[in-house]
Amino acid sequence: MDAKAWVGGMGNLLLVLWGWAPHVWAQADEPGAIPAEQVLAEGQDYRLMLEGGMRWQQGTAREIVYTGSLVLSDLTWDIKDLLFVGATLQLDVWQQLALGVSYWEAVTEGNGGMTDYDYFIPGIWTDFSDGPVDINRANMLDVYAEWAFALPRAAHLRLIGGYRRLYWDWSQYGGSFIYSEDGFRDFRGDFPADQNGINYEQTFHIPYVGLGLRTRWRGWNFSTYVQYSAVAWAEALDEHVLRELLFEDSFQDVKYYAAGVSLAYRLGPRWHVGGAWDWHDIPEARGDTRITDQVTGTAETIRDAGGIANRAWSLSLSSGIYF
């Protein structure tokens, strides 16, 4: 995704919301309205919010192997029907500053698969394999700070900054293959269903900045955000079990785009329930690859031989309490 086009599109979205918000603010003080911001008790400079919930995630991760400028292998790993549980702890200070930490851990293995295309003829795949995958572990850590600027009536513009860590660990089993052995795509077959062929991990470290808009109507709170990073970094680990080879990749200057919307309803002065949609896109980045023969222990490093990408979206439901 082109960064200029993405930033422009997200800017247009915020402008649309900015134009729409006054129609909401005009009704915000009608009888029965509940403030968007939980007003701090008199003389109190802070409050604490604890929120817990469940998240359902869909997406794909890519692993690319290069020889020079040519693609040698292109693997796609599914992030499908992955269920997380998580919690957020947030400290609000002076009704402007928010400091928070959020952690989500996967509690299912997902329902996805893996596909692997090899290109021993440039631009034409010659070998293929696939198979179902288990996601052994996945988690998301987010540490953030927000500064809110009050707009007319019940709206706030938020400046956002933080650090996010994303991690997935897959194992592929069984599946089928098409190989070019004595001819072109001439050898076909299946792997045993319980045979572990490849293990793969992706880890992203993402310092980010962003903008958000928050407003309300009666008991409803609406929030949206966009985030960006051009200085993220990542690691990937690929273990080819049958070939006894270990590939370790490292990536710098990884780009990250994210956006989301949420809607919550106040159940009184201390409780709320809500839902959210979140999306991120990490376009392909290239990095160095260290290849280790696990039988002999010999290793070599090849520059710019690895590629990585990740895109996912999620829906979540949560409930929170204020102290």
Three-state SS string across 242-287, please?
A: CCCEEEEEEEEEEEEEEEEEEEEEECCCCEEEEEEEEEEEEEEEEE
Q: Given this model, what pLDDT does residue 217 score?
A: 85
Per-residue confidence band for 317, with pLDDT thresholds at 50, 70 and 90: very high
pLDDT over threshold 50, residue 194: yes
For the residues 303-314, what does the mean pLDDT come to?
98
14 vs 47 pLDDT, higher one:
47
Which pair of tokens denotes residue 35? 């403030």
- Shortest CA distance to 248 belongs to which of 295, 205, 203? 203
pLDDT over threshold 70, residue 7: no
Q: Given this model, what pLDDT does residue 8 score?
A: 54
Which pair of tokens denotes residue 234? 């990542």
Q: Given this model, what pLDDT does residue 9 score?
A: 56
Contact in structure between 186 and 180 (CB atoms under 8 Å): yes
Span 49-322 CATH architecture = Beta Barrel (2.40)
pLDDT over threshold 50, residue 32: no
Q: Given this model, what pLDDT does residue 269 score?
A: 84
Contact in structure between 167 and 222 (CB atoms under 8 Å): no
For the residues 111-135, what does the mean pLDDT come to?
97
Per-residue confidence band for 22, with pLDDT thresholds at 50, 70 and 90: very low
Cβ neighbours, 10 Å, residue 227: 23
- Shortest CA distance to 102 belongs to which of 54, 152, 140, 153? 140
pTM of the model: 0.88
pLDDT over threshold 60, residue 45: yes
- How buried is 124 (Cβ within 10 angstroms: 0-12 exposed, 13-18 middle, 19+ buried)? exposed
Query: For residue 268, what are the contacts with CB-CB under 8 A and spacing of at least 6?
Result: none
Contact in structure between 75 and 47 (CB atoms under 8 Å): no
User: In whole angstroms, what is the distance from residue 15 CA to residue 204 CA?
Assistant: 30
DSSP classification of residue 241: T
User: In whole angstroms, what is the distance from residue 18 CA to residue 262 CA?
Assistant: 16
Please write the tens of the pLDDT for every residue from 146-186.
999 988 767 899 999 999 999 999 999 999 999 999 999 99
Per-residue confidence band for 18, with pLDDT thresholds at 50, 70 and 90: very low
